[in-house]
């Protein structure tokens, strides 16, 4: 009976260890979840861009979030910039908040890190990646994943968003000429192209003025979203008529556009 009791105790201890291991493993997966999701989302966004944008494309990605740390603010900023391979840490003062900046340029991708001091031990981190080159486009996926993983590993509560911008593809008419479509007509064509690339969209918000139209959508196939009322928005598309060229500029953001358009 004593021997049987010893075996039972060993089994219980092993079970406890395994449960602890599983909890730790799932916790690690939860930490890396936004980084993995960002890879999926960027690939989908790039596919959309290839369908609807003509000529030069500009891609902007942001990793951002709060960071609670025991490090002094300057030391914390230096730790992040060093880990990300950025250089030239600069101090600044913006609206009574201390900020630190560092820059980088790798494989055609320009990076800018900003660390803002909100209060002692509580910082806000923004890492912006931007490129307009083919080399940069090819490097973005790996670079955003590595940067996001590094920030999360340091304890930053990372959130992701991205945008693709350029000129819309022109619509060719039956006689070979270029048709001048209204914002609404052009956006309807873009929506159809996006649905062919990913899956059906559900529009949940719309804005329009004389030169700009913007719509936001629920998209089940995109894992990163933000709440707007009762809806989870994953994609925003905006068209703007350039008064100088007469052409339509398109901005596609996921989950929302956080840059000028």
pLDDT in tens, the chain (261 residues): 444 344 333 333 333 333 333 333 333 433 458 899 999 999 999 999 988 898 789 999 999 999 999 999 999 999 999 999 998 899 988 778 899 999 999 999 999 999 999 988 899 999 999 999 999 999 999 999 999 999 999 999 999 999 999 998 765 444 444 456 777 888 988 898 888 877 789 999 999 887 899 999 999 889 999 998 889 999 999 999 888 887 889 999 999 999 887
pLDDT at 170: 63
In a domain, 259, yes or no: no
CA distance 176 to 183: 21
Number of domains within the chain: 1
The boundaries of the domain holding residue 195 are 27-254
In a domain, 124, yes or no: yes
Task: Give start and end residues of each alpha helix (H) in 130-182.
Answer: 134-153
In a domain, 62, yes or no: yes
In a domain, 261, yes or no: no
In a domain, 18, yes or no: no
In a domain, 15, yes or no: no
User: What are the residues whose beta carbons fall under 8 Å from the beta carbon of 216, sequence distance 6 or more?
Assistant: 203, 204, 205, 206, 228, 233, 235, 236, 256
In a domain, 145, yes or no: yes
- Nearest CA-CA partner of 37 in 218, 232, 223: 223
pLDDT at 179: 56
* CATH number assigned to the domain comprising residue 193: 3.30.160.110
In a domain, 71, yes or no: yes
Whether the CA torsion 168, 174, 179, 182 is positive or negative: it is negative
């Amino acid at each position: 009976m004593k021997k049987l009791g010893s075996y039972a105790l060993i089994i219980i201890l092993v079970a406890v260890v395994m449960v602890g291991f599983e909890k730790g493993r799932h916790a690690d997966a939860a930490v890396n979840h936004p980084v993995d999701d960002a890879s999926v989302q960027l690939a989908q966004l790039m596919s959309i861009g290839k369908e609807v944008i003509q000529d030069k494309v500009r891609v902007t990605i942001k990793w951002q979030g709060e960071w609670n740390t025991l490090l002094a603010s300057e030391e914390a900023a230096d730790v992040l910039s060093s880990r990300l391979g950025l250089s030239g840490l600069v101090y600044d003062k913006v609206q009574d908040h201390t900020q630190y900046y560092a820059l980088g340029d790798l494989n055609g991708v320009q990076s800018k890190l900003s660390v803002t001091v909100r209060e002692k031990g509580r910082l806000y981190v923004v890492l912006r990646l931007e490129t307009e080159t083919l080399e940069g486009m090819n490097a973005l996926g790996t670079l955003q994943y590595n940067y996001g993983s590094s920030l999360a590993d340091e304890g930053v509560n990372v959130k992701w968003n991205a945008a693709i911008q350029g000129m819309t593809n022109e619509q060719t008419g039956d006689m070979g000429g270029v048709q001048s479509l209204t914002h609404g007509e052009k956006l309807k064509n873009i929506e159809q192209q996006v649905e062919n690339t990913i899956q059906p969209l559900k529009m949940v918000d719309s804005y329009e003025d004389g030169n700009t139209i913007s719509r936001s959508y629920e998209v089940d196939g995109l894992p990163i979203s933000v709440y707007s009322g009762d809806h989870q928005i994953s994609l925003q598309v905006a068209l703007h008529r350039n008064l100088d060229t007469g052409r339509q500029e398109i901005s596609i953001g996921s989950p929302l556009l956080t840059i000028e358009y």
